[in-house]
């Protein structure tokens, strides 16, 4: 399962119609899978793009073909990599069949994405069409990605899978990278979004510290199995904020929605907060109100373990966690197994669709 490279080099095959005796002839046959011209050209395009990346974009146009990649002439490297992509395509197909995965489910998924796929094709078809790649191939590659996901889930995610990721590893990752967050934050700007001056910041910092102490005291007094101490502490801090700033009663709810958040699920790679906040959050102890000043806010926050509320909560995130832990292992698995596949080639067709017909614009 190799994702299409994000940046494709502007490779345009010569504007010679793809006609003649090789227009419909299969270029390769791998483990019973026919690699027709459109697929072959797609994989060749991927290989050329990857070659450009490996050469750090130091060369342009046909200069790429005259270089050396991993000790191999670039032309040979690209041709070999094209076959590797084709083998991976065939291997995932054979694994899909071996595991007897649900064809109806795949068809439903393809139907679900049909509109999006055709919309994307409308935006990219000129590029692909000029490269001899039609919508059928574009759709086939997308189907390959869906099959890859199903194979990955069956092998690595599902209980009893042949390469199932151990539960202890998943839970450890969950504990280290997921948390509940409750917080109250005060912006370092006024109502018109103007930055506060030094004196105003000092006053606001003092107010935030007072709110922190209020939260800790209230949470400590409410610490029992019958009372939510974190909620109590946060509410006490918010009430002090209302009192200090003389917020009218009819504006209380709006003010709370602006500065208070509870039961927020946060991942360690979350980008919704400033970077130093996330770093400090995951270093903070559980169930303790802490204070942090960032570039934009003063935070009074509390971190809570998601396992305390529900010991099985990690299961809701199992697929994404296993993907983080095992995606590279799956790619290696596909690459290694696919190399073992034998193939036959239509030498005339490969010569016809060779790199010699490519130029760059």
pLDDT tens per residue, range 24-75:
689 999 988 999 999 999 999 899 889 999 998 777 777 888 999 999 999 9
Number of CB atoms found within 10 A of residue 47's CB = 22
For the stretch 287-308, pLDDT in tens is: 999 999 999 999 999 999 999 8
- CA 196 to chain centroid: 38
Q: Output the pLDDT for position 235.
A: 94
Instruction: Say whether pLDDT at 227 is over 60.
Output: no
Q: Output the pLDDT for position 22.
A: 55
By three-state DSSP, how is residue 224 classified? strand
Instruction: Say whether pLDDT at 358 is over 90.
Output: no
pLDDT level of residue 87 (50, 70, 90 thresholds):
very high
Over residues 275-292, mean pLDDT:
93
Q: Name the strand (E) or helix (H) holding 357.
A: none
CA angle (117 as vertex; 113, 119 as ends), nearest 5: 120
Contacts of 50 (CB under 8 A, 6+ apart): 5, 81
Q: Which of 3-17, 297-311, 327-341 has the lowest mean pLDDT?
A: 3-17
As a whole number of angstroms, the distance between CA 174 and CA 172 comes to 5
Instruction: Say whether pLDDT at 10 is over 90.
Output: no
The mean of the pLDDT values for the chain is 89
Please report where in the chains the tokens 């399962």 appear, as a residue: 1
Q: Output the pLDDT for position 6.
A: 34
pLDDT level of residue 93 (50, 70, 90 thresholds):
very high
Q: pLDDT > 90: what percent of the chain? A: 75
As a whole number of angstroms, the distance between CA 182 and CA 162 comes to 40
For the stretch 124-169, pLDDT in tens is: 888 888 888 999 999 999 999 999 999 999 999 999 999 999 999 9
pLDDT level of residue 360 (50, 70, 90 thresholds):
low
How much is the CA Rg of the chain, to the nearest whole Å?
29
Beta carbons of 334 and 91 less than 8 angstroms apart: yes
Instruction: Say whether pLDDT at 4 is over 90.
Output: no
Q: Treating both helix axes as pointing N-terminal to C-terminal, what angle do 37-54 and 135-152 enclose, rounded to 10 degrees? A: 70
- Scanning the chain, the segments in alpha helix (DSSP H) are 37-54, 74-98, 103-130, 135-152, 167-177, 198-221, 229-245, 252-259, 275-281, 306-309, 318-339, 347-352
Backbone angles phi, psi at 182, to 5 degrees: -120, 135
For the stretch 233-263, pLDDT in tens is: 999 999 999 999 999 999 999 999 999 999 9
Maximum Cα–Cα distance across the chain:
85
Q: Output the pLDDT for position 21.
A: 52
Contacts of 147 (CB under 8 A, 6+ apart): 92, 93, 96, 101, 106
Q: Output the pLDDT for position 7.
A: 33
**Separation of first and last alpha carbons in the chain:** 29
Strand 33-35, strand 358-360: pairing: unpaired
Beta carbons of 141 and 85 less than 8 angstroms apart: no
Q: Output the pLDDT for position 24.
A: 61
Q: How far is CA 355 from CA 48, 70, 190, 350, in A?
A: 9, 19, 62, 9
For the stretch 205-225, pLDDT in tens is: 999 999 999 999 999 887 654
Structure letter (DSSP) for residue 270:
-
As a whole number of angstroms, the distance between CA 301 and CA 230 comes to 10
Backbone angles phi, psi at 340, to 5 degrees: -80, -10
Q: Output the pLDDT for position 5.
A: 34
Q: Output the pLDDT for position 57.
A: 77
Beta carbons of 90 and 33 less than 8 angstroms apart: yes
As a whole number of angstroms, the distance between CA 317 and CA 313 comes to 8
Instruction: Say whether pLDDT at 181 is over 90.
Output: yes
Q: How far is CA 280 from CA 103, 208, 219, 283, 334, in A?
A: 47, 17, 21, 5, 38
């Amino acid at each position: 399962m190799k994702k299409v490279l994000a940046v494709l080099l502007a490779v345009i095959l010569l504007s010679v119609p793809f006609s003649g005796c090789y227009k419909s002839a299969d270029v390769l046959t791998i483990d019973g899978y026919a690699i027709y011209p459109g697929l072959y050209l797609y994989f060749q395009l991927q290989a050329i793009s990857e070659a450009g990346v490996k050469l750090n974009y130091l060369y342009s146009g046909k200069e790429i073909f005259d270089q050396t990649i991993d000790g191999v002439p670039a032309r040979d490297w690209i041709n070999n990599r094209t076959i590797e992509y084709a083998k991976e395509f065939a291997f995932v197909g054979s694994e899909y069949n071996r595991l007897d995965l649900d064809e109806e489910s795949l068809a439903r998924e393809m139907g679900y994405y049909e509109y999006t796929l055709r919309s994307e094709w409308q935006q990219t078809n000129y590029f692909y069409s000029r490269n001899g790649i039609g919508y059928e191939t574009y759709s086939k590659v997308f189907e390959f990605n869906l099959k890859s996901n199903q194979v990955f889930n069956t092998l690595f995610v599902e209980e009893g899978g042949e390469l199932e990721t151990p539960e202890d590893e998943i839970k450890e990752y969950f504990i280290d990278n997921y948390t509940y967050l409750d917080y109250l934050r005060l912006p370092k700007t006024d109502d018109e979004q103007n930055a506060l001056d030094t004196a105003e910041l000092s006053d606001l910092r003092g107010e935030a510290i007072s709110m922190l102490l209020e939260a800790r005291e209230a949470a400590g007094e409410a610490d029992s199995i019958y009372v939510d101490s974190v909620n109590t502490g946060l509410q006490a801090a918010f009430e002090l904020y209302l009192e200090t700033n003389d917020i009218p009663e009819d504006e209380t709810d709006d003010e709370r929605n602006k500065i208070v958040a509870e039961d927020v699920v946060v991942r360690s790679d979350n980008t919704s907060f400033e970077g130093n906040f996330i770093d400090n959050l995951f270093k903070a102890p559980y169930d303790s109100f802490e204070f942090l000043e960032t570039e934009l806010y003063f935070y009074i926050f509390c971190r809570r373990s998601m396992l305390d509320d529900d010991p099985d909560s990690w299961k809701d995130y199992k697929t994404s966690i296993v993907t983080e832990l095992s995606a590279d292992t799956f790619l290696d698995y596909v690459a290694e197994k696919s190399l073992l596949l034998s193939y036959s080639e239509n030498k005339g067709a490969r010569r016809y669709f060779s790199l010699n017909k490519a130029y760059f614009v």
